[in-house]
Copies of this chain bind each other. A is one copy, B any other.
């Protein structure tokens, strides 16, 4: 093999040009996780979201405020200023902004310039997450927020973690919609060899991309085997549904049970993982994760064990995706092409959808 024939390369490149990647503009009109709830307090928190500098804080009455992190006077980051009575006082010249972003005091004069202020973003806090609407406030649409009741019910025990991803959030979504990589990238953590070739079904509609994969009978890796007690060889069922819910959210739901028991006898153990990527720059993202289970909810040792095991695997993705993005970045554009295989169907559809969304600015 030297190179695929030129017509093949042309076709592959034309196909890639219809899919989102790190060159694709951000999709502003949607919800993204800005922070975990417990990160937001009466201290100013600076974070770059979708390429915009944002400052976050919690008001005296507990509301999360998110403002553009740049004083409109001389561009000092507001996040290095002071928080006083729910107002941010700029560190440079003391300009004062209320939680709506309006400039309400200029120390060197008696009034403020007309219409001086910074952009305020709509936020919505639910359970462990602070969501932010990155588009115009008037278009903020709560019906677009992913439905994840399990995050706020006591029936599910959860743990959370943050990773910084040196890759486009698009590549993380792609990763999550094609779990055949579990057998390879996660061979030493939560993948098993039979995963890649297990039968699967997909659901593909605009904005709705799902892969369902029933791996059974199979052997569970320690993180699931030890926690569910289904430790026998080839004795388990692992029923997976992996769903893109929005540009800022992907949810993986898994059920485990013991195949050697009858339907009446068996207990079904369910886990869920909310993968919450928020673009930072074109080629980096904040990667928030909340993981939950509906069994042994009060067993804090199990929570710790599962959290530690899972984040080993999630960090394998973080490492791998950074290697992938670096290889993409160093390849001369005219020599870059991507072959897709059948299992890529949902991810390809998702990447096309993201590109369409980005271009339509909706």
Contact = CB atoms under 8 A, between A and B. Distances in A.
A76 B1 contact: no
A75 B113 contact: no
A94 B338 contact: no
A74 to B, nearest CB: 6
Nearest to A121: B2
Given A116-B4, A331-B70, A338-B74, A92 B343 contact: no
This chain: how many copies in the complex? Answer: 3
A107 B4 contact: no
A92 B184 contact: yes
A181 interface: yes
A334 interface: no
A183 B94 contact: yes
A215 interface: no
Contact of A197 (B100, B108, B339): B108
B102 A1 contact: yes
B117 A75 contact: no
A76 B320 contact: yes
A48 interface: yes
Interface residues of A, number: 71
A223 interface: no
Contacts of A320: 76, 80, 91-92
A120 interface: yes
Contact of A108 (B76, B77, B341): B341
Interface in A313-362: 320, 323-324, 326-328, 330-332, 335-343
A2 B101 CA distance: 7
B330 A108 contact: no
Given A4-B115, A117-B4, A196-B108, A339 B92 contact: no
A23 B286 CA distance: 31
A181 to B, nearest CB: 5
Contact of A53 (B4, B119, B330): B330
Nearest to A136: B2
B343 A120 contact: no
Nearest to A97: B1
Nearest to A100: B1
A323 B77 contact: yes
A5 interface: yes
A142 B244 CA distance: 53
A178 B174 CA distance: 51
A128 interface: no
Contacts of A183: 94, 107
A251 interface: no
Nearest to A110: B197
Interface in A261-298: none
Nearest to A8: B115
A75 B178 CA distance: 15
Given A1-B120, A72-B339, 6 more contacts: A1-B118, A2-B138, A73-B338, A75-B324, A77-B326, A109-B343
